[in-house]
Amino acid sequence: MNGLEAHLTVLVPGQTPCLQCLYPELSSDWSGTTFPVLGAVSGALGCLAALEAVKVLTGLGRPLTGTLLVCDTEYHEYRKYQLRRDPACPVCGPLSQGAHP
């Protein structure tokens, strides 16, 4: 979340891209980084995240696995993007799991 924008996806280890695949430019150390967020955006995203958890746990509906939902709450525009795993990802790529090229 940042300001009036929020991103939501469901990460499943071994099945979907990981957080490093989605945001490779961000350091794993976010200390000192601040994100101004409007509280209502946090609440709305929390409800959507809870819904995704229910979908995963119950098998109902289609969770956002492999899909990034971008919510622009200023204009109420919502977009979906298909995600791809980075084959060279140091976190979830083949080399991170002990495989050799």
What pLDDT sits at residue 33? 60
- CA of 21: how far to CAs of 1, 53, 58, 77, 83, in Å? 18, 21, 27, 24, 9
Which residue in the block uniquely carries the two structure tokens 């995203």? 45
Spatial distance between the Cα atoms of 52 and 12, rounded to a whole number of angstroms:
12
> Is domain 5-27+34-95 annotated with CATH 1.10.3210.10?
no
Q: pLDDT (tens digit, 0 to 9) for every residue of the chain, 101 residues total?
A: 888 999 999 999 889 999 989 888 875 565 556 667 888 999 999 999 999 999 999 999 999 999 999 999 999 999 999 999 988 898 888 766 654 44
How many whole angstroms separate alpha carbon 65 and alpha carbon 59?
12
| Domain locations along the chain | 5-27+34-95
